[in-house]
A = this chain, B = another copy of it.
């Protein structure tokens, strides 16, 4: 009588089912896992009891005896920024192909949070992949021992796997494209970025100098990574440099934001100001004319990151791999 009411809140185990079904817990295991060696009749009975008791195998108990299933943690700054879904999709797909599971977490661009997240997540998964804004030294106390694949950050101590994006080549290609169209007064919208903040604007200025463009630091504006940020950047740069006839943005989000601002201000694109974006997001196809951009295969980026992790998990540290953007000329230049 007190056998059903008891239970309180404890988990139902294999043994509970066994007791209720009047068999050994071993028989229950066999029934649940459907490996022959069991009388169909007993199996049916056991299964019924199991359902009755709402029995669910513990993934921990199971994982302990056959540690097969690999789980990786995926960390991104933001799930909604349209850059990341494609990257995430690439990771999930590549992981799925290996029968891995992916725990997704977002730092919301919060650096301290990134660290605590890494610590807790790192304890629950076999490896971590994603965008990390800290140096290896800063990361170390939080992810000690956890295999790490870092995306879009220059190799640091060289102890982690790395997938780099050749933004330098991208900026160069975009800039030279604009120059070849006769532009000489070119602005750049950079973004606040945790990693390698200087490399992009440095490349921009280096290439400009090499082509003897009349440009200096003042032609670079660091915007918040959003459409609104792009709008502000456009207005600011245009006010600062009325002679500006073109601009290159570090991502499509701000590029589109700049485009919208231009439209609002009655500035014709590309006639009065050409725009080159970066990333190749599909939002670039929605504006009219569509955005010229440095297209990056974000899905591939995710696949590469997983591949790096795969090698890491296999015990070998792979050399950094680099993914390059390619120029996609559309309507805004």
A98 CB to nearest B CB, Å? 13
Instruction: Spot the interface stretch: A78-86, A190-198, A316-324.
Output: A78-86
- A144 CB within 8 Å of chain B: yes
Residues on the B chain within 8 Å of A124, using CB = 59, 69, 71, 101
- A49 CB within 8 Å of chain B: no
Q: List 7 additional contacts besides A102-B104, A287-B287; criterion CB under 8 Å.
A: A54-B145, A60-B64, A69-B124, A71-B103, A79-B89, A88-B104, A260-B286
- A11 CB within 8 Å of chain B: yes
A211 CB to nearest B CB, Å? 33
A103 CB to nearest B CB, Å? 5
A123 CB to nearest B CB, Å? 7
Q: Is the CB of A64 within 8 A of B56?
A: no
Interface mask (A43-81 → B, CB under 8 Å = 1, otherwise 0): 000000001001111111111100101010000000110
A104 to B84, CA, bound (A): 14
A51 to B84, CA, bound (A): 34
Interface mask (A98-114 → B, CB under 8 Å = 1, otherwise 0): 00011111100000000
Q: Is the CB of A85 within 8 A of B92?
A: no
Residues on the B chain within 8 Å of A89, using CB = 79-80, 106
Q: Is the CB of A104 within 8 A of B92?
A: yes
Q: Is the CB of B101 within 8 A of A59?
A: no
Across the two chains, which residue of chain B brings its CB closest to A89?
B79
Across the two chains, which residue of chain B brings its CB closest to A59?
B124
A224 CB to nearest B CB, Å? 16
Q: Chain A: residues with CB nearer than 8 A to chain B? A: 11, 51, 54-64, 67, 69, 71, 79-80, 82, 84-86, 88-89, 92-93, 96, 101-106, 121, 123-125, 144-146, 256, 260, 263, 283, 286-288
Q: When A and B form their complex, which 8 residue pairs have the shortest distance between CB atoms, in order from nearest? A: A60-B63, A286-B286, A79-B89, A60-B64, A104-B104, A85-B85, A60-B60, A56-B145
A271 to B256, CA, bound (A): 26
10 example contacts (A-B, Cβ-Cβ < 8 A) are as follows A58-B63, A59-B124, A64-B64, A71-B124, A84-B85, A96-B106, A101-B103, A101-B124, A283-B283, A283-B286
- Interface-central residue, A79, A123, A263, by most chain B CB under 10 Å: A79
Q: Is the CB of A80 within 8 A of B85?
A: yes
Residues on the B chain within 8 Å of A80, using CB = 85-86, 89
Q: Is the CB of B11 within 8 A of A67?
A: yes
Across the two chains, which residue of chain B brings its CB closest to A60?
B63
A146 to B60, CA, bound (A): 16
Q: A145: which of B51, B103, B121 is its contact (CB, 8 Å)? A: B51
A103 to B287, CA, bound (A): 35
Residues on the B chain within 8 Å of A60, using CB = 59-64, 67
Residues on the B chain within 8 Å of A84, using CB = 85
